[in-house]
Amino acid sequence: MKKSSHILSVIGLGYVGLPLAIELSKEFIVIGYDNNLNRITSLKNLQDNNFEVSSSKIKKTINKTFFPTINFKEINKSDVIIITLPTPINKKNKPNIKKLKIVTEKIAKNIIKNKLIIYESTFYPGLIKTEFVPIFKKYNLTLNKDYSLGYSPERINPGDKKNNITSIKKIISASNKKSLKVMKEIYGSFVKPGLFVADSIEIAEAAKVIENTQRDLNIALINEFAKIFERMDISTSKVLEAAGTKWNFLKFQPGLVGGHCIGVDPYYLSFKAEKLGYKPKLILAGREINNNMHKFVFNKFKKILDHINKDLRSSNILLLGATFKENCPDTRNSQVFKLIETLKKKKTKLSVFDPYIKNNQDKVFKSYNQIKNSKFDLIAIIVPHTHFKTNKFFFINKLLKKDGAVFDFKNLFPKDNYYKI
């Protein structure tokens, strides 16, 4: 018997929605909606193609307390609706909330009154109030009378099995005290470190967007250090190792910043700031540095090949990893693809292998069987998947030419004498 009579709906069963739905279904009845039929079919077959939730975990609750569906009308059976859709940007780096507005409109149009709608997506401060409340108003629904709103920003880290949805403190906020009490019951059922109650929805929105903006800027600073030290012929990794011996030095590494959060959220905040007449120079400078880091990596390739007396165009190059981060199949906004396009334009003999990417139509992507008998002049470990570390012999020792070089971009093998940043 469940501890609560609440019936919940989770809209969007992706990297955020599915882990959330599974945890909630341990204590509540959960209806999981996704408009992707293949996704629903996979889940009913106990498969999460994002590798975030195991088959055994899905099996414990599916068709018992967790009911995935493609039928949007099913959500009317719930009294709490949680929306976990992504908030991407467009080609001009402006917020794209089209999907969220469509879902909000569908809820407002078909809603049975007195539901609590909770958003988990990342916004700029005030977006719920200015963009979503008017949609409900259009259907003659009054906030805190006909419906209530909550905001609890997701803090999931795809591929991270340690810092998962149950082990990260959760921020919650709501439009009234009654809804806040419900949110405490819902999220308190599985978040072990506890909840932080923000004073308002706007404060919670702001807190989330600056979390990722701060991280983006920290990485941008390290990336800029790397560009400077490369010109000085100084090892950035060695500099960071030395500087890291001080207690208050923040330990970040150079990287290709991608994904659905860190490379996106700063644009949401800067968009709102510019609407208010303030141009956020530092935030946008950080974005420019990180957006162009693939050029630095490309130039590093050329420098390494020059050092071993090889030509870029005639060299066989293998990139290991193309997802936006390690141990995760997510390729959204992966900057590795910019690097791939740069190498293709230079007519290089390029192969790309990533154990998490299946059926990519680009001919440069190869299976291990396609590369296992090849020899490469340069092997570049771009994304530090654990798979590469545990199978070092197969990916490096076996595939590298005797006079070839290895570029360990993320320092996956700190003790090996490979080329590093």
Which residues participate in catalysis according to the annotation? Answer: 261
CB atoms inside a 10 Å sphere around CB 314: 11
Cα(first)–Cα(last) distance of the chain, in Å?
A: 56
What are the tokens at 227?
Answer: 């560009």
Geometric angle at alpha carbon 221, from 219 and 222, rounded to 5°: 65
Task: Return all residues near 59 (Cβ < 8 A) that are at least 6 apart.
Answer: 46
Upper half-sphere CA count for residue 349 (Cβ side, 13 Å) = 15
CB atoms inside a 10 Å sphere around CB 93: 17
Dihedral sign computed on CA atoms, order 204, 206, 212, 218? negative
CA 175 to chain centre: 28
201-232 vs 265-275: helix crossing angle, rounded to 10: 110
Strand positions, DSSP E, 232-338: 316-320
Question: Phi/psi class of residue 46: alpha, beta or left (left: φ > 0; alpha: ψ in -120 to 50)?
Answer: left
Q: Decide the pairing of beta strands 349-353 and 195-197.
A: unpaired
Question: In the chain, count of helices (H) and strands (E)?
Answer: 16, 12
Residues 125/206, Cβ–Cβ less than 8 Å = yes
Residues 390/330, Cβ–Cβ less than 8 Å = no
Residues 398/372, Cβ–Cβ less than 8 Å = yes
CA pair distance 291, 287, nearest whole angstrom: 6
Burial status of residue 129 (CB atoms within 10 A of its CB: 0-12, 13-18, 19 or more)? middle
Residues 256/297, Cβ–Cβ less than 8 Å = yes
CA pair distance 47, 60, nearest whole angstrom: 13
CA 361 to chain centre: 23
Burial status of residue 273 (CB atoms within 10 A of its CB: 0-12, 13-18, 19 or more)? middle
